[in-house]
Amino acid sequence: MFFPRITTVVGVAMASLCLAVPAASADDDHDGGKLAVSKVKGSLSVMVLGSGGPMATASGRASAGYLIFTDGVPRVLMDVGGGTYQRLAESGATVPDLDIVLLSHLHIDHTGDLSPVIKTVYFHSRGAGTPRPASKPIRIWGPSSTNVTFPGSAVVQYPASADYVHAHYAMPGGVERYLKAFVPSISAGQFAYTATNLSPLTTDPVQTVLDEGGLVIKSIGVLHGPGPVSTVPALAFRVEYKGKSIVYSGDTSSKTGNMITISQGADLLIYDTAITDTMPDIVANPADAVFFALHTTPTRIGQVAVAAQPKKLVLSHLTPITEPRLDEVQQLIRNQGYYGKLSVARDLKVYNLDD
């Protein structure tokens, strides 16, 4: 999560700057009316559904979300923040076969459009004439709770991901339990899901989440908050298919070596780029130091990239801090000695790993 102050002089200047940034709209990837989905090719691809953070800005970026295609078929969704539903619609992609959702953590800007996209999966299944049976559930993975409580309270700040998902869809108490009756009523099959917790502890090794039909998904716990046990249970993911690999940092300060571990030799590394080395200005606003415990500085991104050597580094989760300072961010990364390909994400950009 990232929410810069906009009541300070520094914040007002940042807000003004972000208004001058061209909108990262769907038109950026509709060359000559060409839908983003038409650019997907090869064995493994990722489409950016959301390259922004939690604060709505005039640049128009959706919050975090990435759609992964295997052999041209959309199968995996990594995070599903606010606005990703709209970007999915604009992309032209249909997702009747989408069956894997990976949640890096439970901040709203990474989960907000989960239910709209799940409902779309069933409407797309109906439209394709392939109603989904109960034997083909939507499978959701995310971090377990670290049981960190609110100060002076026994109440845990973050539930386990499975509890979060069940609170939406489970019978009898899920707030969106109506899907159990709604899906068959529109001839879309049977509504079914599974929810599985993964360890967010940074002391645990890389976990294999799935190994199925050549698709391998791995996760590792990363720090996203202060303390030796992160306040926010958080994961990074690695998706491998036919010799290609995509790594997604989620949100993290990268203050352990875990991002280096999971990113080794990746073809594509998508990185949390919410702050600079010096912004927010913690001299002017000391309380903003928390953001340096939540997110990764460009210098640290460069250090991780040098150690892991991904073929391409993609800067995403851009905020009003970083969006107007991308030249500075990229130079700080290069200053660490990373000379691989470097790209700035935009909504509906497609990366084909076979290219």
DSSP 283-308: TT-GGGGHHHHHS--HHHHHHHHHHH
Condensed to tens digits (0 to 9), the pLDDT of residues 248-272 reads 999 999 999 999 999 999 999 999 9
Q: Please provide the average confidence, as pLDDT, over all residues in the chain.
A: 91
Question: How many CB atoms sit inside 10 A of residue 179's CB?
Answer: 19
- The radius of gyration computed from the CA coordinates of the chain, to the nearest angstrom, equals 20
- What's the pLDDT at 1? 41
For residues 18 and 2, what is the distance between their CA atoms, to the nearest angstrom?
15
301 is written with which tokens?
């991104």
Please indicate whether residue 75 or residue 7 has the higher confidence score (pLDDT).
75
Question: How many CB atoms sit inside 10 A of residue 151's CB?
Answer: 6
Question: How many CB atoms sit inside 10 A of residue 325's CB?
Answer: 20
Q: What is the mean pLDDT of residues 14-31?
A: 37
Which residue from 221, 187, 239, 270 is spatially nearest to 75, judged by alpha carbons? 239
Domain ranges of the chain: 9-110+199-352
Q: What is the largest CA-CA distance in the chain?
A: 59
Reported confidence tier of residue 228, pLDDT bands at 50, 70, 90: confident
Q: What is the mean pLDDT of residues 306-317?
A: 98
Contact 89, 70 (CB under 8 A): no
For residues 352 and 355, what is the distance between their CA atoms, to the nearest angstrom?
6
Q: What is the mean pLDDT of residues 54-61?
A: 95
- What's the pLDDT at 19? 31
- What's the pLDDT at 29? 44
For residues 102 and 250, what is the distance between their CA atoms, to the nearest angstrom?
10
How large a percentage of the chain has pLDDT more than 90?
A: 88
Please indicate whether residue 2 or residue 179 has the higher confidence score (pLDDT).
179
**Is pLDDT at 28 greater than 70 in this prediction?**
no
For residues 348 and 161, what is the distance between their CA atoms, to the nearest angstrom?
27
Residues 6+ apart with CB under 8 A from 182: 191
For residues 38 and 133, what is the distance between their CA atoms, to the nearest angstrom?
28
For residues 205 and 203, what is the distance between their CA atoms, to the nearest angstrom?
7
Q: Locate all alpha helices (DSSP H) within 197-312, ordered by sequence.
A: 258-263, 290-294, 298-308
Q: What is the mean pLDDT of residues 315-319?
A: 98
Reported confidence tier of residue 230, pLDDT bands at 50, 70, 90: confident
Length of the chain: 355
Instruction: Please give the angle made by the CA atoms of 289, 293 and 297, to the nearest 5 degrees.
Output: 90
Does CATH number 3.90.1010.10 belong to domain 9-110+199-352? Answer: no
20 is written with which tokens?
């001058």
**pTM score, whole prediction:** 0.90
- What's the pLDDT at 32? 56
**Is pLDDT at 12 greater than 60 in this prediction?**
no
- What's the pLDDT at 31? 54
Q: What is the mean pLDDT of residues 331-342?
A: 98
191 is written with which tokens?
């509504």
Condensed to tens digits (0 to 9), the pLDDT of residues 184-226 reads 999 999 999 999 999 999 999 999 999 999 999 999 999 999 8
Q: How far is CA 65 from CA 46, 78, 162, 335, in A?
A: 10, 6, 19, 29
Condensed to tens digits (0 to 9), the pLDDT of residues 136-182 reads 999 999 999 999 999 999 999 999 999 999 999 999 999 999 999 99
Q: Roughly what angle, to the nearest 10 degrees, separates helices 326-335 and 298-308?
A: 40
Reported confidence tier of residue 11, pLDDT bands at 50, 70, 90: very low
Enclosing H/E stretch for 333: helix 326-335
